[in-house]
């Protein structure tokens, strides 16, 4: 495997009873990329994230992370190796403050000699959460709750981040702010990012490459302009042959 490939999905299939949710999916992600994963509802995007992160075992195929086969490795061990993720529905400890939520994640993946307290403070500054350090999730906006979840994901040696609809439910201003935060993780910290998102114009502005799933199969993989003009994508995603991102 080339040194610049950090994640490789090789021939992954996932079957639930008689339903094939993923069918021979193969994707590679290079270090420093922002890759968008798109497709109509039920295309298999969330299932693929579950398999990549280790929450589901594939029926066939394998997951290679940083050159190591992690197909049978637990989500916790993948996290310690440098892979983190967020979820469609924000998952926070409601009884803990912003700072405590991020601190718990930092302590879970801390290595000997790590100054996890300093890293928590740094992450909170980067995500503009310092002013909310002592606030509880129920007191915060959805945008700030999503930032906390991202903070929990990136604290502690994160090298590749899976973002599952991180922008859904946000206002335009909140979306613009969070996009800049996400891009700063990529540009300034070098975090590789794979993002599932339905707000296509926003995703196109973020991603260097788009992968399109339909009925569990990869039907396109390329730069946004090429994908947008692909007839299979236009038909599958919009049910027509007009521009997918018009």
pLDDT digits (tens, 9 = 90+) for 28-64: 999 999 999 999 888 999 999 999 999 999 999 999 9
72 and 35, same domain (yes or no): yes
Domain boundary among 139, 156, 173: 156
Domain hosting 95: range is 91-156
200 and 221, same domain (yes or no): yes
CATH number, residue 173? 3.40.50.300
Q: Which of 45-49, 141-145, 236-240 has the lowest mean pLDDT?
A: 236-240
- The answer on pLDDT for 77 being more than 80 is yes
pTM of the entire predicted model: 0.92
CB 64 within 8 A of CB 7: yes
147 and 178, same domain (yes or no): no
58 and 78, same domain (yes or no): yes
């Amino acid at each position: 495997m080339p040194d610049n490939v950090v994640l490789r999905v090789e021939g992954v299939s996932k079957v639930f009873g008689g339903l094939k949710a993923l069918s021979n999916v193969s994707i590679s992600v290079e270090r420093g990329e922002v890759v968008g994963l798109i497709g109509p509802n039920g295309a298999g995007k969330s299932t693929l994230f579950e398999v990549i992160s280790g929450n589901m075992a594939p029926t066939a195929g394998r997951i290679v992370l940083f050159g190591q086969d992690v197909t049978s490795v637990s989500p916790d061990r993948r996290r310690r190796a440098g892979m983190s993720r967020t979820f469609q529905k924000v998952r926070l400890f409601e009884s803990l403050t912003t700072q405590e939520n991020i601190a718990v994640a930092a302590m879970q993946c801390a290595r000997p000699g790590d100054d996890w307290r300093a890293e928590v403070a740094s992450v909170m500054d980067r995500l503009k959460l310092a002013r909310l350090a002592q606030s509880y999730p129920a007191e915060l906006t959805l945008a700030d709750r999503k930032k906390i979840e991202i903070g929990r994901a990136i604290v502690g040696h994160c090298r590749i981040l899976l973002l599952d609809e991180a922008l859904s439910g946000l206002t335009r201003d909140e979306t613009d702010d969070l996009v800049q935060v996400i891009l700063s993780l990529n540009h300034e910290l070098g975090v590789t990012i794979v993002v599932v998102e339905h707000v296509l114009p926003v995703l196109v502005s973020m991603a260097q490459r788009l992968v399109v799933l339909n009925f569990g199969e990869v039907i396109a993989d390329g730069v946004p302009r090429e994908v947008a003009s692909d007839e299979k994508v236009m038909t599958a995603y919009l049910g027509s042959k007009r521009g997918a991102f018009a």
